[in-house]
Amino acid sequence: IRSWSHIKGLSMWRYNLVTHTWQEMSPMQKPRALMIVAYMGHIYAVGGRYGSKDLRSAEAYDPVTNTWYDVPEMVHRHRYFGIAVMNKQIFVVSCSSRIIDISTFLFGFTSQ
Protein backbone atom coordinates (compact mmCIF):
# COMPACT_ATOMS: atom_id res chain seq x y z
CA ILE A 1 0.00 0.00 0.00
CA ARG A 2 1.48 3.33 -0.99
CA SER A 3 0.68 5.59 1.94
CA TRP A 4 3.82 7.70 1.87
CA SER A 5 3.83 8.93 -1.68
CA HIS A 6 1.87 10.82 -4.29
CA ILE A 7 2.01 7.63 -6.35
CA LYS A 8 -1.46 6.14 -6.26
CA GLY A 9 -2.08 2.45 -6.47
CA LEU A 10 -4.35 -0.49 -5.77
CA SER A 11 -1.74 -3.07 -4.86
CA MET A 12 -0.84 -4.32 -1.41
CA TRP A 13 2.02 -6.63 -0.50
CA ARG A 14 2.73 -8.63 2.68
CA TYR A 15 6.27 -9.39 3.84
CA ASN A 16 6.90 -12.74 5.54
CA LEU A 17 9.52 -12.29 8.28
CA VAL A 18 10.29 -16.03 8.39
CA THR A 19 10.79 -16.74 4.68
CA HIS A 20 11.89 -13.18 3.74
CA THR A 21 9.52 -13.18 0.78
CA TRP A 22 6.81 -10.84 -0.46
CA GLN A 23 3.29 -11.94 -1.34
CA GLU A 24 0.80 -9.83 -3.28
CA MET A 25 -2.52 -9.55 -1.45
CA SER A 26 -6.00 -8.58 -2.64
CA PRO A 27 -5.95 -5.09 -4.25
CA MET A 28 -7.81 -2.11 -2.83
CA GLN A 29 -11.16 -1.17 -4.40
CA LYS A 30 -10.08 2.40 -5.28
CA PRO A 31 -6.59 3.73 -6.07
CA ARG A 32 -5.27 6.24 -3.56
CA ALA A 33 -2.15 7.52 -1.83
CA LEU A 34 -1.42 9.22 1.53
CA MET A 35 -4.03 7.43 3.64
CA ILE A 36 -3.33 4.35 5.78
CA VAL A 37 -3.85 3.24 9.40
CA ALA A 38 -3.94 -0.15 11.13
CA TYR A 39 -6.55 -0.69 13.84
CA MET A 40 -7.97 -3.75 15.63
CA GLY A 41 -6.52 -6.26 13.19
CA HIS A 42 -7.64 -4.47 10.04
CA ILE A 43 -6.00 -1.95 7.70
CA TYR A 44 -7.99 1.18 6.86
CA ALA A 45 -7.46 3.21 3.69
CA VAL A 46 -9.00 6.53 4.68
CA GLY A 47 -9.26 9.57 2.42
CA GLY A 48 -5.97 10.31 0.71
CA ARG A 49 -5.46 11.47 -2.83
CA TYR A 50 -6.14 10.22 -6.36
CA GLY A 51 -4.54 12.33 -9.07
CA SER A 52 -5.37 15.94 -8.18
CA LYS A 53 -8.47 14.98 -6.16
CA ASP A 54 -8.57 14.67 -2.37
CA LEU A 55 -10.79 11.79 -1.24
CA ARG A 56 -13.32 11.23 1.52
CA SER A 57 -14.02 7.58 0.70
CA ALA A 58 -12.70 4.78 2.89
CA GLU A 59 -12.29 1.03 2.84
CA ALA A 60 -10.87 -1.59 5.19
CA TYR A 61 -8.83 -4.75 4.69
CA ASP A 62 -9.37 -7.99 6.60
CA PRO A 63 -6.11 -9.99 6.56
CA VAL A 64 -7.88 -13.20 7.64
CA THR A 65 -10.13 -13.27 4.55
CA ASN A 66 -7.76 -11.24 2.30
CA THR A 67 -10.64 -8.94 1.30
CA TRP A 68 -11.36 -5.21 1.22
CA TYR A 69 -14.77 -3.84 2.21
CA ASP A 70 -16.37 -0.39 2.23
CA VAL A 71 -16.64 1.63 5.43
CA PRO A 72 -18.46 4.97 5.89
CA GLU A 73 -17.04 7.97 4.03
CA MET A 74 -15.70 10.96 5.94
CA VAL A 75 -17.73 14.17 5.87
CA HIS A 76 -14.82 16.11 4.31
CA ARG A 77 -12.04 15.21 1.89
CA HIS A 78 -8.63 14.78 3.51
CA ARG A 79 -4.97 14.21 2.70
CA TYR A 80 -1.91 14.97 4.82
CA PHE A 81 -3.93 14.33 7.96
CA GLY A 82 -3.23 13.10 11.43
CA ILE A 83 -5.03 9.96 12.50
CA ALA A 84 -5.50 8.42 15.93
CA VAL A 85 -7.58 5.76 17.65
CA MET A 86 -9.37 6.31 20.96
CA ASN A 87 -12.33 4.49 22.56
CA LYS A 88 -12.79 2.21 19.53
CA GLN A 89 -13.09 5.20 17.18
CA ILE A 90 -10.79 6.48 14.46
CA PHE A 91 -10.25 10.25 14.49
CA VAL A 92 -8.95 12.18 11.48
CA VAL A 93 -7.57 15.67 12.05
CA SER A 94 -6.42 17.89 9.20
CA CYS A 95 -5.63 21.50 8.51
CA SER A 96 -5.64 23.19 5.12
CA SER A 97 -5.68 26.72 3.72
CA ARG A 98 -5.05 28.19 7.20
CA ILE A 99 -8.45 26.97 8.35
CA ILE A 100 -8.45 24.23 10.94
CA ASP A 101 -10.90 21.55 9.92
CA ILE A 102 -11.34 18.78 12.46
CA SER A 103 -13.36 15.79 11.31
CA THR A 104 -14.21 12.65 13.19
CA PHE A 105 -14.42 9.37 11.34
CA LEU A 106 -16.50 6.86 13.30
CA PHE A 107 -17.22 3.26 12.35
CA GLY A 108 -19.87 2.22 14.87
CA PHE A 109 -18.72 -1.36 15.35
CA THR A 110 -16.57 -3.31 17.76
CA SER A 111 -13.99 -5.88 16.82
CA GLN A 112 -14.52 -9.54 17.60
pLDDT digits (tens, 9 = 90+) for 44-62: 888 888 888 888 888 999 9
Provide long-range contacts, Cβ within 8 A and 24+ apart, for 19-22: none
For residues 33 and 16, the model is more confident at 16
For residues 97 and 10, the model is more confident at 10
pLDDT at 53: 86
Cα 22 → chain centroid: 21
Is the predicted pLDDT of residue 101 greater than 70, yes or no?
Answer: no
pTM over 0.85: no
